[in-house]
Structure 1
Amino acid sequence: MEGIKKIPEVSTFTFLRQAISILNNPLPFHHKNFERYGDTFKLNLGFGNYAVFSRDAVLAEHVLQKHWKNYKKSPIQTKDLAKYLGKGLLTAEGDHWKRQRKLIQPAFHKKHLESLVVTIKQTIVEELNQLKEDVAFDVLPFFSNLAFKVVVKALFSNAATDEEIKTLQDVTEENQQMLVKELRQPYLKWYFKSFGVIKKQLARTQASRDILQDIIERRKQSKVQNNDLLDMLLGARYDDGSVMGNEQLIDEILVLFVAGHETTANALSFAVQLLAHHPEWQEKVADQHQDILSQNPTVMEELLKSQLAKQLIEETLRLYPPAYFIDRVNIEPDVCHGYQFKKGTNFLFSILEIHKHPELWESPEQFNPDRFSPEKAKHYTSHYFPFGAGPRKCIGNNFAMYEMTLAISELLLRFSIHPTKQTIEINPLITLKPKNANVIFKLKNSKV
């Protein structure tokens, strides 16, 4: 067909020869082939099926935004992840997803989040009071705990006991670890099934669902208005006036646990490491935050004025996007950029590579939060996707930004951050996680 370009192809043999190393860390494979073949290449999966890998921001916008209705999520999310989380927003498709998104979206509008930011800040302050000083330690577990506590408090206020919270957090993290094993070691699928490994984990998942069922029932019987996310979700109505059933509500809560805590914890862990290597930005953010607090603002006013902390977070998400890839499968054949894609093509967009594309970003490897200043940030909207893009963009992006901005601002008001090594290590699992994220916090001589 005239005008149709051929997509460069990586041979099956080349892939199989590197399969083990790719399963352990796919990023070098991605980068090497993008550098060799250009912004889009394909891998022959056999039986006439292909996976298309791309760091083309125009193609990403085409798939995720302009023609999103022709694309669905891959079975990794709709089946593999769904068996642990159910059919919530992250794993749902089609009319079911549309119905749920329309119902839940208002709970995450900025005006509704105003009632939650006080709780978010209080929880952050409580957790920062437990931060270890003058000793090097891996910050990822600390921020994982902080982020999970924030999600739980925003959802349930004080309705969950410490024991319930611990079980919910443990099961959430176990599910993620199990899914990583399944995806990284597909050759052990028979073992996981035959020896009851998956069955055991699903039983643990059911235990967490039982806890959530109890919390929901306790809330329904209570006449106290908490104005938290659970109240908002229980009060939400479909177009026909009906409410969400408990099982669907639990599915959505499980999604919030995963989407609302792991990615935030990863980003905060990367942010403090970057700050450790850039003390000038520690000083900038802390000084601005001190000035804001001197004006006795509300928490929402504090957030809206914390421009430098926001820029710091945005640059962190550019350099180390927790959701470092996005996958889709086309429902009908499509054409974009001169490439023709047959029905059922698997797409994998490297957000990490798009965020560091030398034709899209000036000095892409350089840490420079100033690129997200108000007058400059608008130039990057077409190729900056830390929360995805289009109608399936992360529903909790405002919540996450508020939480991270408050956490960094409060942290830098109290502590200075010091590095223990020269490099920042990454661990690309389902999300982009930090590895050996060790820093040292020293308490400032402040009036906090």
Structure 2
Amino acid sequence: MSVGKKYNYPNQLSIFRFFLDSEGVRKNPIPFHKRYFDKLGDSFSLKIGFSKHLILSRDNEIVQYILVKNQKNYHKSKFQSFYLSKYLGKGLLTSDGDFWLKQRRLIQPAFHKQKMNMLVENMNKAISAEIINLKENEVVNAFPAMSQLAFNFVAKSLFEFSISEEKLHRIKFIIEEVQKFLVKEIRLPHKALWFSLSGQVKTHLKLAQENNRIIQEIIEERNSSNDDFNDLLNMLMETRYEDNGESMSMEQLIDEIKVLFIAGHETTANALTFTLHFLGRYPEVQQKVFDEIAEIESQTDNIIEQLQKMVYLNAVLNESMRLYSPAWITDRQNVEDDIVGSYKIKKGTLIGVSFYELHRNPKYWENPDAFIPERFLGEQKKQSMQYFYPFGAGPRMCIGAGFAIYEMCLAISQIVKRYIVKSNTDKVEFNPLVTLKPVNVEVSFSKR
């Protein structure tokens, strides 16, 4: 839209304060964000240079406006479209505009509920195979265990059981290494020249290319196979563009699979880790989950029906993701000048949305730092869902949200059926990378 050339922005964080805090922000921006919000309000701005502005917000009205109501004027920022695409290619996560819409329409049917229901038996078998590997009667770091479980689960859902352990481990290693370097690039832009001259960019681009080759080999093996497969790869290979009836190119298929690996594995591992912590800290909640599962299984053997009845377990997962949202932040840039709330903003303004802070904003949540699953039950759930963004919102809401919920419900239900979970961690630590990664969350599993 066209607005006057006199712009106004939220309360401004001084550039001097920002530079004083910059090293701490690089390590963990969340405590600093909270401090700024508490001082400056639910949105604040930072002026960079003479005319560039950045806004960070935990205001639900602003979030709804840029992600839903006027989303066409807000594209992904350079952080997502440039830095991520350099290593991940042009998949759903990194693309924008008409190309993104074309890909979304192509891939969406593969994640339709009926399609996901077809995968559930394989999903359940894959999770069972992973859970028997959990160490019993000793304190373990939950994240590596859940990361391994989630990664293997996603791999087997993508490729059923047709991929070697060696290739799996290599893909996992590359994804983790590239992500760590990607975060350094984003948080330390002033070191861009050094990263390039020292060969670090080249090294990680080579790793990304190796990942492409491994995934291409898997696809080529599938193309030459006469076997029938019931997995996501098969669904993606069978999709056709509406305009020309053609399938995705090899390059595009590789890019979309990389996105599914990262989005489907790490965010789920994070959420499972935080949820295990809460189950271990609140035995009465864990008992309620166990009782619900036992009651459901006495009513039906059908896994789909069981998943649909896991109301309390879903509430526990939602409350865990409210407090520690795996996708803890996102950003957009406006294509044209706009009015957002009471602010007139210039085109090209970078707007960051802190889901972590919005999910703890006392304006929307009573006793916001407490773990209360009942927020997501009955009438309370309607209120809570207005301010809850574990998978984003609007047309760009995570395409695999249903898949992730199925995966987490199956994993937690199987763990709680077999084990009593105890948490040895008083205060949760985390590292806000591309996703909110748990740090040193220690739990133990004992036979129930």
TM range (shorter): over 0.9
Report the Cα distance in structure 1 between the residues aligned to 2:247 and 2:426, rounded to whole angstroms.
Answer: 53
Matches within 5 A, 1:165-204: 165-204=168-207
Aligned to 2:269: 265
Counterparts of 2:191 and 2:7, CA distance in 1? 40
The one-letter code of the counterpart of 1:82 is S
1:10 alignment partner, SS class = coil
- 1:64 aligns with 67
Q: 1:19 aligned to 17, 22, 37, which one? A: 22
How many Å separate the matches in 1 of 2:43 and 2:331?
A: 14
Whether 2:199 is the aligned partner of 1:208: answer no
CA-CA distance at 1:2 after TM superposition: 13
* Number of the residue aligned with 2:308: 304
User: What's 2:131 paired with?
Assistant: 128
Name the aligned partner's letter for residue 385 of structure 1.
Y
- The code of the aligned residue for 1:94 comes to G
Query: 1:376 and 2:380 equivalent?
Result: yes
Per the normalisation by structure 2, the TM-score is 0.96
Quote the residue 1:318 is aligned against.
322
Give the drift of 1:344: 0.3
Please say if residues 61 and 382 of structure 1, whose CA atoms lie closer than 8 Å, have aligned partners that are also in contact. Answer: no
* Alpha-carbon separation, structure 2, partners of 1:202 and 1:119: 34
Contact in 1 for aligned 2:77/2:332 (Cα 8 Å): yes
1:418 matched residue in structure 2: 422
Offset at residue 5 of structure 1 (A): 6.0
Aligned match for 1:31, one of 31, 34, 47: 34
Deviation at 1:47, TM superposition (A): 3.0
Query: Is 1:437 matched with 2:438?
Result: no
Residue 180 of structure 1 deviates from its aligned partner by: 1.7
Residue aligned with 2:386, SS: helix
Aligned partner letter, 2:113? K
Which residue pairs with 1:360 in the alignment? Answer: 364
Q: Which residue, 347, 350, 365 being the options, matches 1:346?
A: 350
Aligned mates of 1:2, 1:246 — CA distance in 2: 46
Counterpart CA distance in 2 for 1:401 and 1:102 is 21
Aligned-pair CA distance for 1:434:
1.0
State the match for 2:120 in structure 1: 117
Of 4-13 and 260-269, the range deviating more from structure 2: 4-13
Residue 301 of structure 1: CA displacement?
A: 1.0
CA contact (8 A) 1:288 1:308 kept: yes
Which residue of the partner structure matches residue 53 of structure 2?
50
Give the deviation of 1:224 after TM superposition. Answer: 2.1
Q: CA deviation at 1:412?
A: 0.7
The one-character-per-residue Cα deviations of 1:72-96 (angstroms, maximum 9, x if unpaired) are: 1111111101111100000001111
Is the Cα–Cα contact under 8 Å of residues 12 and 43 in structure 1 kept in the other structure? Answer: yes
In structure 2, give the amino acid aligned to 1:107: A
1:4 CA drift (Å): 8.0
Alignment coverage as a number of residue pairs: 444
Shift of 1:433: 1.2
- Structure 2 unaligned regions, length at least 5: none
Q: Which residue of 2 aligns with 1:78?
A: 81
Structure 1: how far apart are the matches of 2:347 and 2:445?
52
- 8 A Cα contact 2:45 2:53, kept in partner: yes
Assess, with a 3 A threshold, how the Cα gap between structure 1 residues 374 and 217 changes in structure 2: closer, same or farther: farther
1:248 maps onto 2:216 in alignment? no
Structure 1 letter corresponding to 2:376 = F
Q: Which residue of 1 aligns with 2:149?
A: 146
Offset of residue 294 of structure 1:
2.2
Q: Is contact 2:6–2:344 with CA below 8 Å preserved after alignment?
A: no
Cα offset, 1:3, TM superposition: 12
Q: Match of 1:249, SS?
A: helix
Paired residues of 1:276 and 1:418 also in contact (CA < 8 A) = yes
Shift of 1:116: 1.0
Tell me whether 173-182 or 71-80 shows the greater mean CA deviation.
173-182
**Contact 1:4–1:338 at 8 Å: present in 2 too?**
no
Range with greater deviation from structure 2 (181-190 or 256-265): 181-190
1:221 aligns with 2:224: yes
Secondary structure of residue in 2 paired with 1:433? strand
CA contact (8 A) 2:329 2:354 kept: yes
Worse-superposed segment, 327-336 or 415-424: 415-424
Distance in 1 separating the partners of 2:167 and 2:378: 42
Q: Deviations over 1:197-243 (max 9, x none)?
A: 12112112111111111111111122222121111111101012111
* Pair 1:237 & 2:240 matched: yes
Residue 259 of structure 1 and its aligned partner are, at CA, apart by 0.6
Higher mean alpha-carbon deviation, 137-146 vs 293-302, is at 293-302
2:391 is equivalent to residue 391 of structure 1:
no
**Aligned-partner SS, 1:285:** helix
How far 1:338 moved relative to its partner?
A: 1.3
The CA RMSD over aligned residues, in Å, is 1.5
> How far 1:440 moved relative to its partner?
1.4
- Could you tell me how far apart the structure 1 residues matched to 2:214 and 2:429 are? 36
Is residue 337 of structure 1 aligned with residue 331 of structure 2?
Answer: no
What one-letter code is carried by the residue in structure 2 that aligns with 1:436?
N
Identical aligned residues as a percent: 43
1:188 partner amino acid:
K
Deviates more, 1:392-401 or 1:1-10: 1-10
